[in-house]
Structure 1
Amino acid sequence: MTRYPLTWLYVPGDRPHVIAKALAAGADVVVIDLEDAVAPDRKDYARAATADLLTQPQPVPVHVRVNALDGPWAVDDLAALAALPGLGGLRLPKVTSPDQVRQAAAATPVPLHALLESALAIERAYAIATAHPSLRGISLGEADLRADLGLRADAGLDWPRSRVIVAARAAGLPPPPQTVHPDIRDLDGLAASCAHGRALGFLGRAAIHPRQLPVIERAYLPTELEIEHAETITKAALANEGAQALPDGRFVDAAVVATARRTLSLARRG
């Protein structure tokens, strides 16, 4: 049974004490950030500290967001982190072409995740998603994308969001997680945003503070009504092969059954 991560907790790579707390915070994946969260004069320290930590397996999966592949630090990031026992994946920021994914894949055997943060990246979403077998997921970087598009309202991001979701699924990748909600005090806004993201087809979300994790989980875990509905569908599918109608008139076919099974898989997490 597939177990999809729902929470991805970002933490600055130059703050080992904060990383230690993040590893115990209950996130499905901890993402050590060497990019935006680390000042230029701290890049070498953050890389060395992260590499030192990841020489040992960690209690939860740990990914590292390296620096942009076209910048001055990425080559050293990939060399330092290439095959460490505690590293579960690398997140590649500001990807704009399939060649960048292939470049990273040639440098490391670690699973890769591409972050699409520009209009050009959105236009090339499917090509990026199918660039290499090492690529295990794509997602958005909405702050940079918002600036690139000159957006003033959140609604302007809905088309790029849907584009990335469709590209991921067309490439056989998991549904993307949402990007971070930057206001760590606005938990109601986070919940509303997660509900909207779930309706679009996202699965899970990145976080920048542990207090955001339970809000994300509640938003993305199935409700009791959804679980009951899914159980009814799967029982009907076991009892009768092929398309059919439930007693209440709802039509059930293979796609509906697959959705129900994914709902139950999420409900049984942990």
Structure 2
Amino acid sequence: MTSPPPAGVRIAGPSATARFAPRTWLVTPGVTPGRFEASRNSGADVALLDLEDSVPGVGKDTARADVLGYLRHSCEGGPAVLGVRVNSPSTVDGLKDLVALADSGRWPAVLLLPKVEAARDIELVAQLVDTGQGECGIWALIETPRAVQDLSAILCAPHLAGVLFGAADYAATAGCGLTSRALWHPRSALAAQAAAAGLPAIDSPSFDLGDLDRLRQETEEAVELGFIGKVAVHPKQLPAIEAAFRPDACDLAAARAVVSAADAAGGGITTVDGRMVGPPVVAAARALVVAEEEAPHPPPGDLTRL
């Protein structure tokens, strides 16, 4: 049995060692090209331009042209890396999105695929993307019970860069509530299996723009479950998400205390502030210190952040 960490020490899984993890994602509808640049300068790690749910059927072609135009003329570097959520590749609009991106020769840093339910969904798209150059990472949106059931196979797909949870579609498909209690199982399953696969997992947005308390609660739950970040649907949600996922001075001080005590003890079990800490807690604390203090941050827009 492993002892619990001292108060203030944040337990972090494999994602804690992943440097420059994209904690904050801001999704912007593809029908609002006037907001694309603002999204990229919002402070989010990933500016995600959406061609799927936020775009009505009659606006798909226009949104696609606007997003491709922005990708074509945007500079490589920037405050945030650019991402695009295409329509499901199993739909006509999804096929149009992928063909248009391939023809343009300009892929986003993050390509988000919705309605992923099998590893084959990733593999088919990877054949269109030059993943060997590391210019475009394919992320899967897990948003159905079937996808959760087949997570182990999906997470083994070659070229998969990470996963996001889609709460609204999951709740609609499962016939459950869009509540913390109803979604606890799929969220925890996704975070745990992504950690086992060594992949980052991002939590679903909080859709009530006026309820910042609920946003903070959901984000703290996401941290506890092992997600490394969360999607925002409005810039005003970003500070709360950033604050929850980025360890503060107290977290770092507690982690340094654990590392110092462990080094002085030469490994094994030791005590910090009257609490026993074992090797797993020490490893998590050491990873936190390395990730937050020792790793040099890249220039804005550097794709190694992902």
Question: What residue is the counterpart of 1:40 in the other structure?
Answer: 57
Question: What letter corresponds to residue 115 of structure 1 in structure 2?
Answer: L
Equivalent residues in 2 for 1:177-216 (5 A)? 177-216=202-241
Deviation of the 1:224 alpha carbon: 3.1
1:205 to partner: Cα distance = 0.6
Distance verdict in 2 for CA 1:247–1:89, change over 3 Å: closer
1:120 corresponding residue in structure 2: 146
**What residue is the counterpart of 1:104 in the other structure?**
125
- Counterpart amino acid of residue 18 in structure 1: R
Partner of 1:77: 97
- Equivalent runs, 1:1-150 vs 2, <5 Å: 2-55=19-72, 56=74, 57-59=76-78, 60-82=80-102, 84-85=105-106, 87-109=108-130, 110-132=136-158, 134-150=159-175
Q: Could you tell me the percent identity over the aligned residues?
A: 35
Matches within 5 A, 1:151-162: 151-152=176-177, 153-162=179-188
Q: 2 CA distance for matches of 1:54 and 1:261? A: 39
Q: Distance in 2 between matches of 1:263 and 1:164?
A: 22
Query: Do the aligned partners of residues 9 and 84 (structure 1) sit closer, same or farther apart at CA in structure 2, a change above 3 Å counting?
Result: farther
Unaligned stretches of 5+ in structure 2?
Answer: 1-17, 131-135, 298-306
Q: Secondary structure at the match of 1:246?
A: strand
Conserved in 2, the CA contact under 8 Å of 1:62 and 1:86?
A: no
- Distance change >3 Å, CA 54–CA 228, structure 1 → 2: same
Matched ranges for 1:179-258 at <5 A: 179-258=204-283
Per the alignment, in what secondary structure is the counterpart of residue 76 of structure 1?
helix
- 1:15 maps to amino acid: T
Look up the SS of the partner of 1:114 in the other structure: strand
Structure 1 partner of 2:191:
165
Deviation at 1:84, TM superposition (A): 4.7
Are the aligned partners of 1:8 and 1:27 in contact in 2 as well (CA < 8 Å)?
A: yes
Query: For structure 1, which segment, 77-86 or 65-74, has the greater mean C-alpha deviation from structure 2 after superposition?
Result: 77-86
Taking the aligned partners of 2:272 and 2:163, their CA distance within structure 1 comes to: 40
Structure 1 gaps of 5+ residues are none
Kept in 1: contact 2:118–2:154 (CA 8 A): yes
Distance in 2, matches of 1:42 and 1:8, equals 23
Deviations 1:236-266 (A, max 9, x none): 3444432130353434444222311333356
In structure 2, what residue type is equivalent to 1:51?
L
**Larger RCO (CA under 8 A, 6+ residues apart):** 2
Deviation, 1:221, is: 1.8
TM-score with structure 2 setting the length = 0.82
What is the distance in 1 between the residues matched to 2:272 and 2:26? Answer: 43
Shift in Å, 1:86: 6.5
Q: Distance in 1 between matches of 2:54 and 2:121?
A: 22
In structure 2, the CA distance between the partners of 1:128 and 1:252, relative to structure 1 (3 Å rule), is same
**Structure 1 stretch 114-123 or stretch 45-54: which is displaced more?**
45-54
TM-score, length of structure 1 as denominator length? 0.92
Taking only aligned residues, the RMSD between alpha carbons, in angstroms, comes to: 2.0
Q: Secondary structure at the match of 1:107?
A: coil
Rounded Cα–Cα distance in structure 1 between residues aligned with 2:276 and 2:180:
35
- The count of aligned residue pairs is 268
d(CA) in 2 for partners of 1:73, 1:45: 12
Mapped partners of 1:22, 1:163: distance in 2? 30
